[in-house]
Structures are given as structure tokens and as C-alpha cells.
Amino acid sequence: MGERMQFTELDQYLFGQATHYDLYKKLGAHPVSYGRQKGVYFAVWAPNAQYVSVIGEFNDWDTQANPMEKAGPIGVFQVFVPGAREGQLYKFYIVGMHGEELYKADPYANAAEMRPGTASRITDISSYKWNDGVWMKNRPRFNEKKDAMAIYEVHPGSWMKHPSTEDNREGFFNYREFGEMLAKYVKEMGYTHVELMGIAEHPFDGSWGYQVTGYYAPTSRYGTPQDFKYMVDYLHRQKIGVILDWVPAHFPKDAHGLANFDGTAVYEHEDPRQGEHPDWGTKIYNYGRPEVKNFLIANALFWIEECHVDGLRVDAVASMLYLDYGKSDGQWVANKYGGNENLEAIEFFKHLNTVVLGRNHGTVMIAEESTAWPKVTGKAEDGGLGFSLKWNMGWMNDFLEYMKLDPYFRKDNHNKMTFAITYAYSEKYVLVLSHDEVVHLKCSMLSKMPGELEDKFKNLKAGYTFMMGHPGKKLLFMGQDFGQLREWSEERELDWFLLQEKEHRDLQSFVKDLLYIYRKYPAVHATDNDPQGFEWINADDAYRSIFSFVRKSPTKRNNLLFICNFTPVARPDYRVGVPRLKQYTQLMDENGRTGKKVFRAVKQECDNRPYSFAYPLPAYGIAIFQY
């Protein structure tokens, strides 16, 4: 074997320490030349295999044609196959410890064939020429604690589709055209980031990409890895950040995947009480095994460093932290101290986040963590998990419970909207209205709202205004900004035809105006983690179901006052207490941005404050004032 491509003793040492951070450049399939011979170098980790060979279109899938040799005690097998070339399909043929014959896709493959096929595809991902140099140069300056983050969550396969044709029955857009159309929409609306679901290769569309078989391969549903890189590149050139959903919590049992990889539990725990999710029917990673940790950490780095992605939203973090997650007594094993904390997963997160964020300033790691686990966004050296941000599931649950209520009953549930402020600064939060809230009979955001259709629109506008003013970064799932009526389904595109109707266009325009104010005024994004940046004017107006509060700018200029009325009762004589004897310029009402009407505060006590001004507040009315 030539000098340039082999799994060396140093590679083995780093792999065994979980610190081989560019492992994907050594394992997998890599087109290379040795002298005049062009071919492909293959390497795979199968520590307990008796025999491994690579089979594919280059050798007629012959299990004896290209046997692989063991590179050392860690269990990596490698071979150079002359004549193998880019575009060809392949798998690893493995004779397991007990004589099992296994046909496995490459865990480190950068491309796969279109489902229902399960083979990996040889590709050269290093050939793409990037054009996002300005974005990448500026990326380290991004600070998620202070900068605006309005995230548009998107499932590419169902955002918009082509009409079905013989060549493209499912109507999927290619990554390139999807990226260009998405960028146009996101820029028009004013989101700062997109978060993409279901990018890593997965066999079943109905899993939405949360049951991954190809961690290093952008799904072939929408094109090649080069097409994927073009999409990221294009979004960056349009000044849009890219976040991917990432799933290190579990993996499916598909025969070609990671489960029982060499006839033994390689990636998962052998004991099913540690290695399986009974509710999900999936395998749990063995976070205590260095090579498994390395597989996942190098994968996070692959997306961020190789594919220029700006952050990862880590799925199902709670299921990793708790050994008894979703399990009954007898279905789980306690840690060495007798507790239910997964000590190995905790160490994994500290290692992962420290390395990813330490090497890539300006990127983010976001935890989807649904419990009150402490210090999720705390520093690893202080006993935290080291994430940049955490989804605020508590806020989301309380907010939706309140918004679904008939307005008559809201006065008895007023605290659902105020409670989140009591813990708003315990973590660095993202307020989320995600895909999870508009599936499985939960209704779309518009359909959750009470009343006739006209009332639903007014309720949703008031709700979105409250969300935009509340501390925390923002995330909204596709379709909810124009009032999608049906629940989301991965099988069809969004109901874009609704935008032919005035109410839906008005809602979309209203969200656009909210996003403009969110981006323009540091008061609503630069002080998310500073308790001095938020102050209730009146948190106790339960009888009228009105909330008033201020968001303060770090410079003390351009502060914002928010008022939200959550009942269909107009208050023509509404008076609001204010912090200062100043002018208050109205930027927005329930119809969108206004022509800057000015109200002057007077010396009149209201809301326990010496100053106030009167303002006619309509039914379901909202107001944002700048002072």
C-alpha cells in the first residue's frame, strides 16, 4: 500500500482516545492515486469481525475479490482497490464473530444511493470550491448571546415541491434550487437563520430524518454532497446562517446500518437495558466507548468544518442524559453511584461542545432538552454541558396551553404567560414553535387558536407579538408564518395557495414586520441573557388578560414597550404606566407597522408608576412603542 493513505499507528492511537477529529478523512471511501494507478482507498472499523471485504459495482459484488487487511489491534480494516471510481456503489461484506454474514453500508460514507436502495456511493467531497469566504471570515464575530437569531425551521422535502414527473415522481427540489428559493423567501421575511430537518441520510421518510443510517452523507433525496455544499454556500452568500438537526441519541436497527455492525454490539450497548429505547424501537449509542464518541464528535465537526454549517441543534438530549428515559423499572441499569444520570453521556457532551465551539468560534450548539437539568448552557469547566443555547420547552408548553384557551378562561391562567420569566435567565434560551407542535393531531398554529377564523388570526398575531418581545432567541416552523391550516405532513408541500387569500397574506406581512423590529432593535435581542433587559409594567392584569412589559436596550436608547390584549374586548380608555416622562412612538399595532404615532407620557399614576399615557387598545390589540 502506498504511503499517502493508510490507517497509521497515530490514527489508531487518536481513535482510541476519541480525539481523531478529522477521522472522516481516513475512514470511509476516498478516491486516490498510487503512482499511475487510480482507485479508491476503503477503511472500516469492525473490531470483532473475522473477515471483511469491500463489494461493489467495481467487482460485481464479489465477496472474495477485495479482502481487507487489519491495520492494527483497534480493529480497522483497509484496502486500496485499483479501478474503483467515483459514482460507483459499494458495501462492506463482514463475517461476524459467530460466522454471521453481514452486508453493511459504510458508516463514514459521504453519499448513498436513493432509498429504498441501501448501498453507499463513492464520492470525492474535497473537490467543491467554496465562495463564502466573506461569511466564514466574519463568522467568528457572531455572538449568540447578543446578536439577533430568528430561525426558520424547514423540512426540505415538504417545503415546496415540483409537479410529479416520470424522472422525479416525488417532486423533490435539488439542494441547489431549494437553497436559492429558500434564501429568497428567508431574506424577504427577515429570518436570520434556517434550521434544516432530515439532512443526514435516513431510510424512512416518515422518521423525518431522526433515524439516521448515514451520518456523514447528505441525503440523496435532494442531490449530491456537492449540491448540498452549494446550498450552504449560497445561503451564506445571502447572509443566512445554516443550522442542522443532529441526532446522536439513537439509531435504527436497519440491517444495513450501525446496529450489530460486525455481529456484536459495536456502536450500541450490548445489554438491551442500556442499548435500546423500548418506545422508539432504536439502539442507544455506547458513549463510554472512545471509538463511538469519536464517530459522533468527528461527525459534528464534519458538518461544521467540512460543510461550513453554522450550528447543530442536538435532538433528544434528555433521552441521553437519563438512563431511565422512557423506561420502566427493570428496563434500565443505574450508574455506579446508583443514580439515573448517564455519566458517560454527560462527559460526551462536555467533550463535544468544548471541541466544536473551541475550534469554530461563532458557531452554535443547541440542546433540545425537555427537563430542568441544570447548566445545560453552563460552561463545561463549571459543571455545565457546554451548549450555546437550549430550546425553552417549558415556555412553549405554557404559551400554547394559554393560547388554545377560550379568552373567557384566560384570566384564570394568566400565570402561564408570566411564569417563564421567573427562570428566563437560568439558561440561554431559544423560544420554539417547532414542527413537533403541528403534527400528530396537535393542529397547525392557526388551527390551535380559539374562535371563528377571523379571531384565530387575531389571536395568533397577539401570540407572535408576545413571543417576539419575550427574552430568548426565536424559532418558527415553516408554514406557521402565513397561517397554514392543515397539520404538517412530510408527504406534501406547504399550502402556499393560501397566500391568495387576504387574511393569510396579512398574517405573513405581520410576521415580516415583527421580524424587522426584532432585527432592528437591540432591545429585543441584545439583552436576552441580562435580567436588567426586561421589566414588567403590569404582569397582574389577569381580569383583562392584558400583558405590558418593556425590553431595554444595552445603550438605554430605543427601548421598547409591548402591550398585548388577549381578549376580544376593546379598551378605548386603556392607560399604561411607563418608566419615564418621555415621548412614546408607536412602531406597530395589530395591523403591522404603523406611521409612527407619538404619545406623550403625563404625570398620572398607573400600574404603580408615576407616569402614564392613554391609548385606545382594540380587541386582541397589540402595540409596540419605542422610547
CATH number of the CATH domain containing 592 = 2.60.40.1180
- Which of 245, 315, 369, 528 does the annotation list as catalytic? 315
Long-range contacts of 342-345 (CB under 8 A, 24+ apart): 342/287, 344/286, 344/287, 344/288, 345/287, 345/320, 345/321
Q: Is residue 81 included in any domain, yes or no?
A: no
Work out the average pLDDT over 316-339.
95
CB 267 within 8 A of CB 45: no
Domain limits for position 598: 531-626
Please indicate, yes or no, if residue 36 is contained in any of the structural domains.
no
Q: Specify burial of residue 544 (Cβ count, 10 A radius: 0-12, 13-18, 19+).
A: middle
Q: Are residues 304 and 189 in the same domain?
A: yes
pLDDT at residue 5, as a whole number: 86
Residues 495, 537 share a domain: no
Assigned domain for 239 exists: yes
Report whether pLDDT(1) > 70.
no
Quickly tell me which residue has 469492525 as its cell.
46
Q: Are residues 477 and 560 in the same domain?
A: no
Cα angle value 108/112/114 (rounded, 5°): 160
Residue type, 368: E
Answer for the pair 537, 601: CB distance below 8 angstroms, yes or no: no
Using CA atoms, how far apart are residues 236 and 223, in angstroms rounded to an integer? 19
pLDDT digits (tens, 9 = 90+) for 462-477: 999 999 999 999 999 9
> Is 624 in a helix, a strand, or coil?
strand
Calpha distance 219→82 (Å, rounded): 27
Those residues with Cβ within 8 angstroms of residue 596's Cβ, 6 or more apart along the chain or in another chain: 585, 586, 587
Specify the residue for cell string 427562570: 423
In a domain, 97, yes or no: no
pTM of the shown model = 0.96
Nearest to 156 by CA among 107, 200, 214: 200
- Copy the grid coordinates of residue 126: 474535497
Is 502 within the bounds of a domain? yes
Is the predicted pLDDT of residue 624 greater than 60, yes or no?
yes
- Cα dihedral sign for 279, 282, 283, 287? negative
Clarify whether residues 560 and 434 are in a common domain.
no
Position 431 scores a pLDDT of 98
User: Of 475, 493, 524, which residue sits at a domain end?
Assistant: 524
Q: What angle do CA 237, 435, 492 make, to 5 degrees?
A: 85
Considering the domain boundaries, does residue 566 fall inside one?
yes
Distance (Å, whole) CA 123 – CA 66? 19
Cell 387598545 sits at which residue? 617
Q: What whole-number distance in Å separates Cα of residue 268 and Cα of residue 275?
A: 6
Using only C-alpha atoms, the chain has a radius of gyration, in whole angstroms, of: 27
* Alpha carbons 200 and 296: distance in angstroms, whole number: 13
C-alpha 278: how far from chain center = 24
User: Which phi and psi angles does 594 have, rounded to 5°?
Assistant: -105, 175
The reply to whether 516 and 543 lie within a common domain is: no
CA distance linking residue 588 with residue 591, whole number of Å: 8
Averaged pLDDT, 76-80: 97
Q: Which helix (H) or strand (E) holds 469?
A: helix 453-469
Catalytic residue among 153, 306, 368, 590: 368
Q: Where are the beta strands (DSSP E) in 423-472?
A: 429-433
Q: Say if residue 164's pLDDT is above 80.
A: no
Q: What pLDDT, in 10s, does the model give residues 222-244?
A: 999 999 999 999 999 999 999 99
Average pLDDT over residues 571-600: 93
CB-count exposure of residue 113 (10 Å: 0-12, 13-18, 19+): middle
Place of cell 479482502: 67
d(CA 279, CA 265) in angstroms, rounded, equals: 20
Give residue 169's pLDDT. Answer: 76
Residues 183, 236, single domain; the answer is yes
User: How many domains in the chain?
Assistant: 2
Same domain for 203 and 161?
Answer: yes
pLDDT reported for residue 35: 85
Alpha carbon 165 to its chain centroid, in Å, reads 31
pLDDT bracket for residue 4 (50, 70, 90): low
Average pLDDT over residues 404-429: 97
Q: Over the stretch 444-455, which tens digit does the pLDDT of each residue have?
A: 999 999 999 999
6 exposed, middle or buried (CB, 10 Å; 0-12, 13-18, 19+)?
A: middle
* Window from 2-6, 319-323, 495-499 with minimum mean pLDDT: 2-6
Average pLDDT, rounded, for the chain: 96
Question: Using CA atoms, how far apart are residues 388 and 364, in angstroms rounded to an integer?
Answer: 6
DSSP 302: I
Question: pLDDT value at position 352?
Answer: 98
Confidence of residue 171 (pLDDT cuts 50, 70, 90): confident
Query: What is the percent of the chain where pLDDT is above 70?
Result: 99
Q: What residues does 278 pair with on adjacent strands?
A: none
Active site residue 315: yes
Active site residue 368: yes
Complete edge-to-edge strand list for the sheet that includes strand 592-600: 534-538, 546-551, 560-565, 622-626, 583-589, 592-600
Residue 609: inside a domain, yes or no? yes
| Tens of pLDDT, residues 242-288 | 999 999 999 999 999 999 999 999 999 999 999 999 889 999 999 99
Domain end position, chosen among 475, 491, 524:
524
Based on the fold, state whether residues 489 and 599 are members of the same structural domain: no
Contact 323, 333 (CB under 8 A): yes
- Which pLDDT belongs to residue 596? 79
Are 441 and 463 in the same domain?
Answer: yes
3-class SS at 592?
Answer: strand
Strands (E), 61-149: 69-70, 76-82, 89-95, 101-104, 120-121
Task: Give the tens place of pLDDT for each residue, 30-55.
Answer: 999 988 899 999 999 999 999 999 99
Of 492, 524, 556, the one marking the end of a domain is: 524
Q: Are residues 466 and 542 in the same domain?
A: no
Q: Report the distance separating Cα 89 and Cα 56, nearest Å.
A: 5
- The CATH number of the domain holding residue 245 is 3.20.20.80
Report the number of secondary-structure helices (H) and strands (E) in the chain: 15, 29
Q: How far apart are the first and last CA of the chain?
A: 72
Model pLDDT for residues 203-218, shown as the tens digit of each residue: 988 898 899 999 999 9
- The answer to whether residue 140 scores a pLDDT higher than 70 is yes
User: Would you say residue 10 lies in a domain?
Assistant: no
393 and 509 co-located in one domain = yes
Instruction: Report the 3 state secondary structure along 387-445.
Output: CCEEECHHHHHHHHHHHHCCHHHHHHHCHHHHHHHHHCCCCCEEEEECHHHHCCCCCCH
Asked if the bond preceding 116 is cis, omega within 30° of 0, the reply is: yes
pLDDT in tens, 332-379: 999 999 999 999 999 999 999 999 999 999 999 999 999 999 999 999
- Same domain flag for 421 and 544: no
What is the pLDDT at residue 2?
43
